[in-house]
Structure 1
């Protein structure tokens, strides 16, 4: 049985040889030079390893506290960017679905409002120079409040 991929006439043999002459060096460079030297990660941003959080650091371990603060600031930047993307999606939906955007963009609005609330719970009222310890204390105070009075915003229980 003859090989189906083999050229059948002189014209096909000519174009096949020209193709091999032009394509073979490109394939060789790609396989032998470029691919072995590429980073194997599918992401194009720098990945940092997760470090211990501020509650896992000793009080006199300056290196651990500094790493926790840097991790906190990176997390804040990522969360702020996610919030910005959600806001842009909602605004684009509002512009695109102009007359009846109230019903079509409601899921995006709810998703954005929930993310904004969660962002404010974690990072709000810390100021521009808020650190991991301040956020940890804020979380602790919120948990104490909720244990004593119920969810924040529901008012104070009278026992």
Structure 2
């Protein structure tokens, strides 16, 4: 044994012996009995089961609507974080590349702009208190508009005189 494990003087050796006598069985019990029989919880990657969306809930089923709203809030938080990560990637690319950033970071910027557009299509103009019902109504109104007038942003269709 080396000097670090035995102790440098008789008092330190005595204290190490007492500590090993008291602590040894506790450490053995924890390492051999408790930890092998305990399930591991990964709190940072907790997975929730998917619940029915708001369009699958009955109008009088408040529990289903509550779960759909909670799912909507979790999905929005995940989409916000994805957008933040893409934004950070673009900023890091610009910082790293310097003057060549316009050319070399173009792919990252396009990916970020596409994700930003998708986020706004789903969550934009809902406000701070938007929930699953308002997002569903926004989607429904957008689909009705596209059926009548074509894709959003292309202008309205010309009205036919005889129709």
Q: Which residue of 2 aligns with 1:90?
A: 90
State the SS of the aligned residue for 2:98.
coil
CA gap of 1:64–1:155, structure 2 versus 1, over 3 A, is same
- Counterpart for residue 77 of structure 1: 77
Number of the residue aligned with 2:67:
67
TM-score with structure 1 setting the length: 0.77
Alignment size in residue pairs: 135
Match of 2:4 in 1: none
Q: Kindly report which structure 2 residues correspond to 1:15-26, keeping only aligned pairs within 5 A, or say none.
A: none
Unaligned runs of 5+ in 2: 2-26
Shift of 1:154: 0.5
Partners in 2 of 1:121 and 1:27 — Cα distance? 57
C-alpha deviations, 1:127-148, integer Å up to 9, x for none? 0000100000000111111111
State the secondary structure of the residue aligned to 2:99: coil
Q: What is the CA–CA distance in structure 1 between the aligned matches of 2:28 and 2:100, rounded to whole Å?
A: 53
CA distance in 1 between partners of 2:28 and 2:101 (Å): 51
Q: In the TM superposition, what is the alpha-carbon distance from 1:58 to its structure 2 partner?
A: 0.2
TM-score of the superposed pair, with normalisation by structure 2: 0.75
- Counterpart CA distance in 2 for 1:28 and 1:94 is 54
CA RMSD of superposed structures (Å) = 2.2
Q: Structure 1: which 4+ aligned runs deviate by more than 4 Å?
A: 26-32
Unaligned runs of 5+ in 1: 1-13, 15-25
Alignment deviations for residues 20-72 of structure 1 (CA, whole Å, 9 cap, x no partner): xxxxxx9996575434424266x733221111000000001011011101110
